[in-house]
Structures are given as structure tokens and as C-alpha cells.
């Protein structure tokens, strides 16, 4: 029997724009993703199945709201790994200690899937390269390849084209989630309605701002990174999710260098250059019954 525990970090989007819509309906994006130290812990226990014995796959999770059957991305990742490697003649138990808020735009499911892919690869003698893990990951979700790679990356295509870039300079991130769930497909649908399916001139991608932010990140300039921070989903989500908008305003009022919604929301992050101010901001939100965490960017 072999056991391995892995940290599965959440992500935030420092920049998130849509560049078009493919004929299959998937949106192409361009942006910057950053791993953060708020993380789940994924523990894998693998033991050989006896001859003729049906391999068992089980999963437990500390968040009772999440599925523990084949719908959990952790189990789906394990099946995809075993299908690709032929190493599935083993019992597997996955335990997820969940800290990342679910369905909040922080890639909580994708990062668990990535941790399972990486962990099983370690436990079975590394049969696959990182590129192959990313390819399997993409079949599970657009954010999985980023979660396999981590750090700070420019993300293009549907999320699978990754290029390392300068990370967010050392800072303290307050992440808060008001619990007004956002369905990612519904948020995309709203944007399609607002911008005529991204197939005409109704929306011009913010390429210059992305280039400017990448320059700021390269120069370790937190203010510059914040000045050009952008998330197209804010236009679709904030008008109907007033709590997320209020959190964003509060974070700036109490000293964040910048604050923005992450992914399709509703989680919001604020970047602080001062730890005390960040902790005070998190406490202020927690006192209003808003779950909030202080964490830091992960530099690879």
C-alpha cells in the first residue's frame, strides 16, 4: 500500500478576456492565472488488487456539499489516468480536505483533478510527462492543464495554451466569497448575449491592457499589475451579485492595491502590500459573516 498527500492550490485570474467563440461553442480566452497558497489537501492511497478482484475506487471529502461518486473530478481524473496508462489494476481511495470554496471561480475541482493526476503519476513510477498529464487534464476541464502546471501563466486557447510569465509580486491576498453561487455556463451565456456571441465587432478584446499587465508583472510592479487587471466576467456577474460588488468595494476602501472578481465568480480577491491591512480586511469581512482567507501568490 502506498499513500501520498499533495497540496492542491487554488487559482486567481489577474486578467481574463474572451477573444472569440469556436464553432463548437467553446470560448477562446486570453489572460493570466496565478496559483495561490489557499489550497485543498488531496491524499491518495493505492493498493494492489488481488488477481480476479474488482479494483475499488472510493472518495471522501470534508465538504458535504460536493459529490463523492463518479461526478467528483478527483475520481474522473483517476479513471482518465488509469485509461491512459493501463495501471488501473489497483484499489484507490482519495480523501480531499476541502478549503477552496466550491463553484466560486477558483478552480477548486480542477486543482483536485490535477493533484490526482500528478499523485497517481508519482505513485506508479512516472509513466507520463507533464505535457501528457495536461492533455488528459484538458479532457476533464479547461482549467486542469493550468492546475497541473501552476505558478503564473499566460492562458490562451480554451485554457490549454500556457506560457510562463512574471508572477504577482510578493503580496497578501484576501479572498472572500459571499456564497451567491454563479453557474459558469450561465455567465458565458450572459456575455454571449451582451457581446453578440463574440463573432462580430460587438466586442474588442483588451490586448493592449494584457500586454501592459505582463510588463508590470515582469517589473515586479504590483500597482501596475492592478492598474491593468481585468475580468470580462465582472460585467456579466456583478450587476446581479451585489455582495461580490460590495466585497470588491470594501477591499479597496480598506487599502487593497487592487481588487477583482476571480474567474466567473463570485469570489473576489484583493491584493495588499501590507500584511496587517490584509488581516484586518479579512477580519472585517468575517465579522459580516463573509468567509475570507489571507493567502499569498505561489511562485514556482
Which residues of the shown chain bind ligand ATP in the complex (CB under 6 A)? 66-67, 71-74, 96, 102-110, 112, 143, 184, 263-264
Query: 289 Cβ partners below 8 Å, 6+ apart?
Result: none
Cell numbers linked to 126? 512516472
Work out how close the CB of 144 gets to ligand ATP at its nearest, in angstroms, rounded to a whole number.
Answer: 8
Give strand ranges (E) for the chain: 2-21, 27-48, 57-61, 90-97, 152-156, 161-164, 172-176, 230-231, 258-261, 268-272, 292-295
- 274 is known as an active-site residue: no
Long-range CB contact pairs, 123-128, < 8 A, 24+: 123/2, 123/4, 123/44, 123/46, 124/46, 124/85, 124/87, 127/85, 127/87, 128/81, 128/84, 128/85
Q: How far is the CB of 4 from ligand ATP (least distance, A)?
A: 17
CA distances to 100, 135, 250 from 66, rounded to whole Å, are 12, 25, 30
Q: Of the listed 40, 98, 143, 206, which one is catalytic?
A: 143
Q: Which is nearer to ligand ATP, 115 or 217 (CB)?
A: 115
Q: How far is the CB of 72 from ligand ATP (least distance, A)?
A: 4
The minimum distance between CB 200 and ligand ATP, in angstroms, equals 26
Q: Give the nearer residue to ligand ATP in terms of CB position, either 146 or 272.
A: 146
Output the smallest distance, CB 70 to ligand ATP, in A.
Answer: 10
Return the number of the residue (213 or 262) whose C-beta is nearest ligand ATP.
262
Nearer to ligand ATP, 56 or 71 (CB): 71
Q: Which is nearer to ligand ATP, 73 or 216 (CB)?
A: 73
Q: Is 199 a catalytic residue?
A: no
| Matching residue, cell 491593468 | 228
Tell me which residues are annotated as active site: 11, 143
Amino acid at each position: 500500500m502506498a499513500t501520498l498527500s499533495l497540496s492542491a492550490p487554488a487559482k486567481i485570474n489577474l486578467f481574463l478576456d474572451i477573444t472569440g467563440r469556436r464553432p463548437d461553442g467553446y470560448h477562446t480566452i486570453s489572460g493570466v492565472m496565478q496559483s495561490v497558497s489557499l489550497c485543498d489537501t488531496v491524499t491518495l492511497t493505492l493498493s494492489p488488487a488481488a488477481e480476479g478482484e474488482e479494483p475499488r475506487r472510493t472518495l471522501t471529502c470534508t465538504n458535504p456539499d460536493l459529490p463523492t461518486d463518479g461526478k467528483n473530478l478527483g475520481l474522473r481524473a483517476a479513471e482518465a489516468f488509469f485509461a491512459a496508462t493501463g495501471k488501473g489494476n489497483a484499489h484507490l481511495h482519495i480523501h480531499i480536505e476541502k478549503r477552496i470554496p466550491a463553484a466560486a471561480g477558483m478552480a477548486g475541482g480542477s486543482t483536485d483533478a490535477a493533484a490526482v493526476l500528478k499523485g497517481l503519476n508519482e505513485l506508479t513510477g512516472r509513466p507520463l510527462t507533464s505535457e501528457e498529464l495536461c492533455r488528459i487534464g484538458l479532457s476533464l476541464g479547461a482549467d486542469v492543464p493550468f492546475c497541473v502546471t501552476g505558478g503564473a501563466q499566460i492562458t490562451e486557447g480554451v485554457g490549454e495554451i500556457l506560457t510562463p510569465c512574471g508572477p504577482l509580486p510578493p503580496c497578501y491576498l484576501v479572498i472572500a466569497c459571499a456564497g451567491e453561487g454563479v453557474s459558469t455556463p450561465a455567465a458565458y451565456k450572459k456575455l454571449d448575449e451582451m457581446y453578440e456571441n463574440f463573432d462580430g465587432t460587438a466586442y474588442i478584446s483588451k490586448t493592449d491592457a494584457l500586454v501592459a499587465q505582463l510588463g508590470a508583472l515582469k517589473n515586479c510592479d504590483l500597482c501596475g499589475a492592478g492598474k491593468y487587471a481585468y475580468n470580462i466576467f465582472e460585467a456579466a456577474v456583478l450587476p446581479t451579485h451585489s455582495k461580490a460588488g460590495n466585497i470588491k468595494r470594501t477591499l479597496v476602501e480598506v487599502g487593497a492595491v487592487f481588487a477583482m472578481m476571480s474567474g466567473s465568480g463570485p469570489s473576489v480577491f484583493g491584493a495588499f502590500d501590507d500584511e496587517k491591512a490584509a488581516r484586518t480586511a479579512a477580519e472585517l469581512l468575517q465579522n459580516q459573516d463573509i468567509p475570507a482567507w489571507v493567502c499569498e501568490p505561489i511562485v514556482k
